[in-house]
Amino acid sequence: MGEVNFPEQTPLYHALHAERYARRGLIERVEHFTKRKLIVYFANVAHPQSSISKDDIEPFQEMIHDCLISESKHIDLLLQSGGGDIDVAEKIVTLIRGQVESLRVIIAERAKSAATLIALAADEILMSNTSELGPIDPQVIIPTPTGYMMYPAQSFLDGLKRIMEDTQRAGFLNPAYFPILSNLNPALIDFCVKAIERSKQFARKWLEQYMCRQEPNKAEEIASRLCNAQRYASHGAVIDWREAQELGLNVKYVHPVDQLWEAVWRLHTSYEVFVRRHQIAKIYETNKVSIT
């Protein structure tokens, strides 16, 4: 009888963590095709605590540490996130780019808002038919009688501009605007102006350093277009691989039946099922690290 290679873990332990070991095998399969180290940041976008936050910093450093001890300086980041704190997003980018030689972001399904900003700091982005980026226009959370609502910061500035233009044309302030202006906080206007510039600054800075380093003037154009609330009327607007390329981003399209993408998509779906089944907000993994 030939020799059988059983898992190195004990039978019960391996059975209890079977899903993790299955994902590790898929991570190693992706690495087989890319010859690069893969780190995974997967957020359950249906979970209320899935946004990018300061709690992500230590797990990211743990994954980067695993890359460093394995002497891997060329990193792929499989990124799934609906967005979150822009300052944390920049801290994540700073952590990665300060310790590796090259960064490629793989978007299997979505990387929106602040996650789009993380992707802009890569040297290259891999996308396929299911992949989407999003606008980077900052959002403002406003309390309403029915709960909190998010509005584009630019909309507040556009609304105020429209009131001013109507007033100039009419020669007087329409009384219909009194309730609106009475509740208008000058600090909010200042915040909106600074938040928009912050998003542009983030995108411009990292695009100039990496993806647009050969054409730094293109970084300003891309940042402005992605932050344009008139171009993208909805913060959830889909920017697919074709539009991302048209914007000037270094996006490589991978066909769904390509072996690399099949491995990526199998890994993505295993995460999607796992986080939803167990109601997990976020998961961070390499072939050796696993944090939920």
* Per-residue pLDDT tens over the stretch 40-93: 999 999 998 999 999 999 999 999 999 998 888 899 999 999 998 889 999 999
Which domain covers residue 154, as residue numbers? 139-233
- CATH code for the domain of 98: 3.90.226
Return the structure tokens found at 166: 């109507």
85 falls within a domain: yes
59 falls within a domain: yes
Residues 71 and 214 in one domain: no
Specify the pTM: 0.86
Contact 5, 43 (CB under 8 A): no
What strands, in cross-sheet order, belong to the sheet with 124-127?
251-253, 124-127, 102-106, 74-80, 37-43, 282-285, 290-291
Residues 40 and 130 in one domain: yes
169 falls within a domain: yes
Residues 106 and 250 in one domain: yes
Residues 280 and 155 in one domain: no
Residue with tokens 């997003």: 89
Residues 15 and 126 in one domain: yes
Contact 50, 282 (CB under 8 A): yes
Residue ending a domain, choose from 211, 233, 255? 233
Report the chain's terminal Cα–Cα distance, integer Å. Answer: 41
5 falls within a domain: no
Residue ending a domain, choose from 233, 252, 273? 233
1 falls within a domain: no
3 falls within a domain: no
Phi, psi angles (nearest 5°) of residue 254: -120, 125
Residues 57 and 129 in one domain: yes
275 falls within a domain: yes
E-only strand ranges, 107-258: 124-127, 139-144, 147-152, 251-253
The per-residue pLDDT for 232 is: 77
46 Cβ contact list (under 8 Å, min separation 6): 276
Q: 153: how many CB neighbours lie within 10 A of its CB?
A: 23
- Picking from 224, 231, 233, the residue whose alpha carbon sits closest to that of residue 199 is 224
Residues 246 and 130 in one domain: yes
Number of domains in the chain: 2
Residues 211 and 243 in one domain: no
Question: pLDDT tens across 244-286, in order?
Answer: 999 999 999 999 999 999 999 999 999 999 999 999 999 999 9
Burial of 186 (0-12, 13-18, 19+ CB in 10 A): exposed
pLDDT classification of 192: cutoffs 50, 70, 90: confident
- Picking from 287, 263, 288, 285, the residue whose alpha carbon sits closest to that of residue 274 is 285
Residues 22 and 117 in one domain: yes
Which has more confidence, 210 or 4?
Answer: 210
2 falls within a domain: no
CA separation for the pair 187, 204 (Å, rounded): 25
Residues 212 and 256 in one domain: no
Residue ending a domain, choose from 210, 233, 256? 233
Collapsing DSSP to helix, strand or coil, 116 comes out as helix
The per-residue pLDDT for 249 is: 97
- Picking from 130, 107, 137, 147, the residue whose alpha carbon sits closest to that of residue 235 is 137
Residues 168 and 113 in one domain: no
Contact 245, 125 (CB under 8 A): no
Residues 171 and 278 in one domain: no
